[in-house]
Each structure stands twice: as C-alpha cells, then as structure tokens.
Structure 1
Amino acid sequence: MILLDKPYVSQFLKDTITKHKFLAIDTSDVIKDGEISLANPEEIIQQFKDEPNSRIYTNSENSINWITKNLAFTKLPEYINLFKDKVEFRKLIKSIYPDFFFKEVSFKDIDQLDLKDLPMPFIIKPAVGFLSLGVHKVVNAQEWSKVKEEIIKEFTDAKAVFPIEVVNTSSFIIEEVIEGDEFAFDTYFDDNGKAVILGITKHLFSSDKDVSDRVYYTSKELIQTYLAQFTQFVEALGKQANIRNFPAHIEVRVDDKGKLIPIEVNPMRFGGWCTTADLNNKATGLNPYYNFLKNIKPDWNKVLDKMDDEIYSLIILDNSTGIPSNKITNFDYDKLLKEFSNPLELRKTDYKIYDIFGMLFTKCSQSNFKEIEDILVSNLRKYVTA
C-alpha cells in the first residue's frame, strides 16, 4: 500500500504501482485524473484492521498527518515519532552512543543560549525538519547572530509551503558536529525486525560549512565497501526500537577510523521527492518500492556482480544563486544538460514555490567525475535569467 502526496511523485513510482497493482491513495491531489488507478482510503484502513502487520509506504512525509489520523490504532504513529523527532531519536540511541552531546532548545529560547555550555563547533537543526531547512553549522560565537537571523527567515518561508508535521518550529536540537564522510541509505525492517538495505549513496559537500543536499552518488564500489557495516548498524537500531515492517531513509557519518555515527532516521519513506530509491534503481536494477512492499530481500552478491563500474549521481538543483526565486524568469536546462557526459533523467520543479530548479540523475565514469565536482560547487548563476 502506498500513500502519494506532494511535492513530487516520480513516473517510476507510478509505473511500479500500476505494474504490481499496489493499493495507492492520493492524499493531496498530486495525481492527475486517470493517471493511475487509485484505491478508496477505507480499503487501506480496513487492510490494517484485518492485518495489523500490513506494510505501507509514502513518497512524502506530508502524509504523516493522514497516518496519524487514520491509522492511530496501529504502531505506525509511535514508530514515526520515534524517528521523526530528532530529540527522541537521540534518546533512543543514547545507550549505543553514550558520549554523544545533544541538547533540546525551544525556538523562543534560542536567543538566551549560553554558548559556554555548548561544544564548538555545533550543528543546530529543527527537532522535526525536512530538506536541510534550518540546519546550520556554527563554528564560532561571531557566526551565531547571523545563524539565528537565517533560522527565523527560513522558517517564516517554510511554514507557507510544508505542513506542521514536516516542519515543526517549536523545538530545535543542538548536537556536536559529527566528523567523517556522510552517507544516506534506504532500508526497511522486516516482520522479524531484521535489517534489509536497498541502496547506499554518499553525500558530497563543497566545504566543511556546506549543509546542502546538492549531490549524492552511488556505485558498485561504494555499496561493496559499506553494505555490511550499515546492515549491522540497522540491525542494532531495530533491536533498540523493537520495530517491524517499516521503511526508512537513514543518514550517517563514518569517520577516518571507520566509526559510524547516525545523523537521523527519516520514517516511512526512502529519499524524499522519489530520489534515492529511483537513483538506486538506475544503478542496481532493484526496485526498492517493490522490494519493501513484497518483503523481497536483495541478493546483493548477484546484484553487485551485474553492476557496472560507473558512478550514478543525484544532483539537487537548489537555488544557490543568491537571487530570490521570485526574481528569476528562466532556468536554462538545456545548457545544464550539456555539462554532463550521460544525463539520465531531468525533473523540472516549480522553483518559485520550492526554491529548487529540479533534480538531475546522471551516469559517468570515474574519469569524468569532475563534472560532478563542478556542479557541487556551482552557484548555478550561469543557468538563470533574472
């Protein structure tokens, strides 16, 4: 069963629903009339009443409100809150990571924070958040005033676009900076709580202060390197949370000594906007939506054996131009595509609403990886007309 919601449903997910005849409902009028066959919401509710261990996936955390209202008799709201609230998540894993510093602070009390009580540098982010909204790295006291102003502006804008279940401005978490390379991977807990990894991506940053979501990539080598370690971590997390039949998108960092520290767990979905699941399909041939809903565990030995040695990237074209989106009249997508040796799919978005020009999936050899490094540091101004 699948809940479909804004901001974006990929054609791959729509085709998966149609091909495998999955029950799906539209919780926000995101599907055009006749585009795919939709179920009656009562069918999904009744399915859970008949079989409490049923599985459900949502492409967007906007649907959390629907689950809270209609499936309150299941364990799903409990599982969601455990992971969606970053403070609750840190409490959950405190016994696994007892020395990790974190502190909850209300939005109204940010001004009164005493920096002497905080590790420097630190990360501040909303306890409930989405798409890097309100996420800031503070490296010294001089930066703090600027960060506070930016947080206020970001959340004033965000409340007009995302529902309160996605972006809750009442509470923030401050935590120590987690060093190392960052990864995001799609997974689920099966009916016995066992971990199943469905794809692994590495999150690239342009600098130590960068907290954006510009580039993620995956490859055969990357999966081979981290599959066992990430599976072991999710196994431990599943035991701690006692969770079953549940999908998640997990972000972690691994330091130069190989130590893994989790950043966050995003419940009920894989990468937002149908990103990482679709990217992993292009790279591995797996269908993560199908695998989860049908409880099919990948035979990773066979999958890796069939994979090529290319690098598959997801590029999120966030507005880093410095020009307000409502002042931009055009984005030159054709010019952008010419910068890449093998663009696979371009998804244009309404940048005046979401402040994102689109999503681009690409494939390249290691020798052409500079094209990914270049877009990582680009402010995208050469593609826009204002």
Structure 2
Amino acid sequence: MILLDKPYVSQFLKNTITKYKLPAIDTGDIIEDGEISLINSEQIIQNFKNKPDSRLYTNSENSINWVINNLGFTKLPEYINLFKNKFEFRKLIKSIYPDFFFKEVALKDLDQINLEELPMPFIIKPAIGFLSLGVHKVVNKEEWLKVKQDIQDEFTNAKKLFPIEVVNASSFIIEEVIDGDEFAFDAYFDENGEAVILGISKHLFASEKDVSDRVYYTSKKLIQSYLPQFTQFVEALGRRADIRNFPVHIEVRVDDKGKLIPIEVNPMRFGGWCTTADLTHAATGLNPYYSYLNNTPPDWTQLLDEMDDEIYSLIILDNSTGIPSTDISHFDYEKLLTKFSNPLELRKTDYKTYNIFGILYTKCKQDQFIEIEDILVSDLKEYVCP
C-alpha cells in the first residue's frame, strides 16, 4: 500500500501504481482527479487490522502524521521515531560506534553551547529534518555565530512548507565530522528482518564545506564495489532494531580505510521527491517500489550482468544563485539541457515555493563526467532571469 503526498510524485511511481494495481491513497491532495485509481483511507486501516504485517510505502515524510494518527496500533510509529529522530538513531548504534561523538541540544540553548567541549569542526543538524535543511558544518567560532542565525532564518521559512513531523526545529544534534566518501542507498527489511538493498548512489560535494544535495550518481562499478559492505551494515542494523516489512533510505560515509559510519536512516521511504528509486530504475531496470511492496528481492548478479558501463546521475537544481526564488521570473531549462550529452528526464518544480528549480536525470560515459562536475559547482546564475 502507498501513501502519496507533497511535494512531488513522479510519473514513474504513478505508472507503477497503475501497472501493478497497487492500493494507494492521497494524503496530501496532490493527485488530480482521475489521474490514478485510489482507495479510501479506511481500506488501508482495516487491512492493517486484518494483516499487521502488511507493507506500507510513502513517497514523502509528510505522510508521517497520517500514519501516527491512523496506524498507531501498528509498530510503524515506533519504527519511524527510531530513525526519524537522529538522536535516537545514534543511541541505537552507539554500541557499534562507541567512540563517535554526538550531543543533543535544544534550539533555545544554542547560545549556551561551550565550543571548548565540542570537536572542531562539527556538524549541526535538526534531530528531525529533511533534505539538507538546517545542516551546517562549523569550522571555527566566527562561523558558529553565523550558523546560529542561519538556522533561525531557515526554520522560520521551513515551518511554512513542511509539517512538524518532517522538520522539527526544537532539537538539534551536534556530531563529529564523518570523513570519507558519502553514499545513499535504498533498502528494506523483509518479514524475517532480513536486509534487501535496492540501489546505491554516491553523493558528490563541491567542496569540504558543501552540505547540499546537488549531485548523486550510480553505475555498475559503484554497485558492484559497495553492495556486499552495505548489505552487511543493514543486516547488523536490522538485528539491533528488530524491524520487519519496512523501507528505509540510508546515508553513510566510507573512509579511505574502508570503514563505514552511518549518517542517518530515513524511514518509510526511499529517496525523497521520488529520486533515488527512480535513478536506480533508469540505471538497472529494477523497480524498487514494486520489489519492496511485492517482496521480490532483486537478483543483483543478473542486474549487474545486464547493466551498461555508463554513469547515471541525479541532479537536484537547488537555488544556489543567491537570488530569492520569488525574485526570479524565469529559469532557462532549454539552455541547461544543452550542457549534457544525454539528459534522460527533466522534472520542473515550483521553485518559488520549494526553492528547487527542478530535478534532472542524465547518463554519460566516463570521459564525459566533466559535465556532472561542472553542474556540481555551478551557482546556476546563467540560467535565471530576475
């Protein structure tokens, strides 16, 4: 069963619902009349009463409130809180990473923090958050003064866009900087608690201070390299959390010695805005939504055998221009597309509301990867008209 909500439902997810006749409801008034077949909320509630081991997926954490209000008799709210609250997650895995520094702090107490007691540099982020909202890397005392003000400004705006279950600015977690390459992958726990990986992508950054979500990419070589290690980690996580029939989106870093340290686990979904699951489908042909809901684990040996050697990228066109989105009259999508050798799909978004111009999927050969590196560092000013 699927809960559909704002801010974005991809056509691929809609097609999946229609093709496989998956029961779905609209919890965010985002589906137009007649666009896809929907059921009513009571059917999902009754189904869980009859079959507590049913599987639920949502494209957006905006649906968390619906789950808490309607499915409180299931284990889903417990699973959600365990991962959604980053402080609770750190406590869960503390025995695996006993030397990792983390500390919870209330928003109202940010001014009372003693920097001498913290590792420098450090990361601060909301205990309950979404995308890279409110995530900052602090490298010195002077920067800390600016970061505190930035956090106040960011969450004043965020409260207008997202429910409190998605972004809660009352509590933050401060943790040591995790070195290494960053990866994101989708997975689920089956009815026995066994871990199933549904796709792996690498998260690129423009600089050491960059915390944006601009570029993720996947490839045959990437998946082959990290599938065994990531599967092993999710299996260990599942044993500690004792979770069944539940999807997750996981972010980790792997240092130059091969050590994996988790950043966070996002509950009940894969990549937000229908991103990473759709990227996996473009690159491998696998449908992660169907695989999870139908309990059909991917045959990675066959999938990798059939994959080509090109690089498949997901590009999130966040507004990095320095110009308020409300002051931008036009974004030149056609000019943008000319910068890529093989654009696969462009998803335009309401940038005046969400501060994201769109999401672009591309593929390219290894010797063309410069086009991905260029968009990674672009401020996008050349594509906007005030």
- Tell me, yes or no, if structure 1 residue 358 matches structure 2 residue 358: yes
Give 2:349's aligned residue.
349
* C-alpha separation in 2, matches of 1:4 and 1:28: 7
Give 1:35's aligned residue.
35
Q: Which segments of structure 1 move beyond 2 Å, counting only runs of 4 or more?
A: none
* C-alpha separation in 2, matches of 1:355 and 1:147: 20
1:242 counterpart letter in structure 2 = D
* C-alpha separation in 2, matches of 1:126 and 1:38: 34
* C-alpha separation in 1, matches of 2:255 and 2:103: 22
Could you tell me how far 1:142 is from its partner in structure 2?
Answer: 1.2
Counterparts in 2 of 1:1-386, with a 5 A limit? 1-386=1-386
Could you tell me how far 1:111 is from its partner in structure 2?
Answer: 0.8
Paired residue secondary structure (1:7): coil
* C-alpha separation in 2, matches of 1:28 and 1:7: 9
Cα deviation, 1:233-270, whole Å, max 9, x if unaligned, reads 00000000000000000000000000000000000000
Could you tell me how far 1:79 is from its partner in structure 2?
Answer: 0.2
* C-alpha separation in 1, matches of 2:375 and 2:61: 28
Could you tell me how far 1:109 is from its partner in structure 2?
Answer: 0.1
Unaligned runs of 5+ in 2: none
* C-alpha separation in 2, matches of 1:49 and 1:10: 30
Cα deviation, 1:192-213, whole Å, max 9, x if unaligned, reads 1110000000000000000000
Could you tell me how far 1:13 is from its partner in structure 2?
Answer: 0.3
* C-alpha separation in 2, matches of 1:94 and 1:369: 38
Could you tell me how far 1:28 is from its partner in structure 2?
Answer: 1.0
* C-alpha separation in 2, matches of 1:29 and 1:174: 36
Cα deviation, 1:300-348, whole Å, max 9, x if unaligned, reads 0000000000000000000000000011000000000000000000000
* C-alpha separation in 1, matches of 2:262 and 2:349: 30
* C-alpha separation in 2, matches of 1:151 and 1:28: 27
* C-alpha separation in 2, matches of 1:89 and 1:318: 28
1:37 counterpart letter in structure 2 = S
**What is the root-mean-square deviation of aligned Cα atoms in Å?**
0.3
* C-alpha separation in 2, matches of 1:142 and 1:27: 43
Q: How many residues align?
A: 386
* C-alpha separation in 1, matches of 2:160 and 2:111: 24
Could you tell me how far 1:131 is from its partner in structure 2?
Answer: 1.1
Unaligned runs of 5+ in 1: none
1:50 counterpart letter in structure 2 = N
Identity, % of aligned pairs?
78
* C-alpha separation in 2, matches of 1:150 and 1:374: 27
